[in-house]
């Protein structure tokens, strides 16, 4: 099991200390550096070249959204997990559009943090279940076991809807291909069409779109993490 070289970015040292203690209990995580804002983090990147970053959003000098975007421009394989006090929908959307693969609330427990780590290592997204439930309530989906009437303003085909729902479950292209019995190249084409039709910047931001439009069941998203 590859050890994930990890940097913690948060302007509150007490929180960093607590998170570091928690992460030290996870066998494949090694905290190699800490930063109190986005600028400090970017200054550390070349030295440590981490695999994983836990990123706060609101920080002095440079926020976590800008820092995430700039770090991924230089190191596109970097995995960013946002860990924030805010369940604000705008912060959630901006973080995903910047390239973060997971979004957790700061009251997340060790089990959920470990699930998020496992997901991003496997190139899957993970979002705090508490956050998703709140987003769904705001967007008029009544409960995690129900789905609102489909609003399909961008006229996705039935196959594109199926691909979108599997993306939201965290499946990679080859897994979607196997599930639908089509080729990975065909999945690539469907994914490109969905991104274009929905005007989404990346696959992860499609989750926000799917929630807002009632195209996906919350339970399918929140249960995408491996046990």
In this model, does residue 147 exceed pLDDT 50? no
Q: Residue 227 — very low, low, confident or very high, per pLDDT cuts 50/70/90?
A: very low
Whole-model pTM over 0.85: no
Taken in order of first residue, the domains within the chain and their CATH numbers are: 4-127 (3.40.50.2300), 141-222 (1.10.10.10)
User: pLDDT band at 190, cuts 50/70/90?
Assistant: very high
pLDDT digits (tens, 9 = 90+) for 38-94: 999 999 999 999 999 999 999 999 999 999 999 999 999 999 999 988 777 778 878
User: How far is the CA of 32 from the CAs of 141, 193, 206, in angstroms?
Assistant: 41, 40, 32
* pLDDT at residue 213, rounded to an integer: 76
Reply yes or no on whether the pLDDT at 223 is more than 60.
no
Say whether pLDDT at 209 is over 50: yes
Using the predicted structure, report yes or no on whether residue 16 has a pLDDT greater than 60: yes
Check pLDDT > 50 for residue 198. yes
Q: What is the pLDDT of residues 115-138, one digit of tens each?
A: 999 989 988 888 887 777 666 666
**Average pLDDT in the chain:** 83
In the chain, the percentage of residues whose pLDDT exceeds 70 is: 83
Please check the confidence at residue 28 and state whether its pLDDT lies above 80: yes
């Amino acid at each position: 099991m590859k050890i994930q070289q990890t940097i913690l970015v948060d302007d509150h040292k007490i929180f960093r200390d607590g998170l570091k203690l928690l992460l030290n209990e996870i066998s494949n995580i090694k905290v190699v550096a800490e930063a109190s804002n986005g600028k400090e983090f970017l200054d550390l990147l070349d030295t440590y070249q981490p695999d994983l970053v836990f990123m706060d959003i609101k920080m002095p000098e440079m926020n976590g959204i800008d820092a995430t975007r700039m770090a991924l421009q230089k190191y596109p394989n970097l995995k960013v997990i946002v860990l924030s006090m805010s369940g604000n929908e705008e912060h959630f959307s901006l973080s995903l559009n910047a390239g973060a693969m997971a979004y957790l609330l700061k009251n997340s427990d060790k089990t959920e943090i470990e699930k998020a780590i496992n997901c991003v290592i496997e190139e899957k997204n993970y979002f705090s279940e508490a956050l998703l439930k709140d987003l769904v309530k705001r967007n008029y989906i009544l409960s995690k076991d129900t789905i609102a009437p489909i609003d399909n303003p961008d006229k996705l085909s039935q196959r594109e809807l199926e691909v979108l729902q599997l993306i939201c479950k965290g499946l990679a292209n080859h897994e979607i291909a196997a599930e639908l019995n089509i080729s990975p190249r065909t999945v690539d084409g469907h994914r490109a069409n969905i991104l274009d039709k929905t005007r989404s910047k990346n696959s992860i931001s499609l989750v926000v779109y799917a929630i807002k439009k009632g195209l996906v069941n919350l339970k399918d998203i929140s249960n995408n993490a491996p046990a």
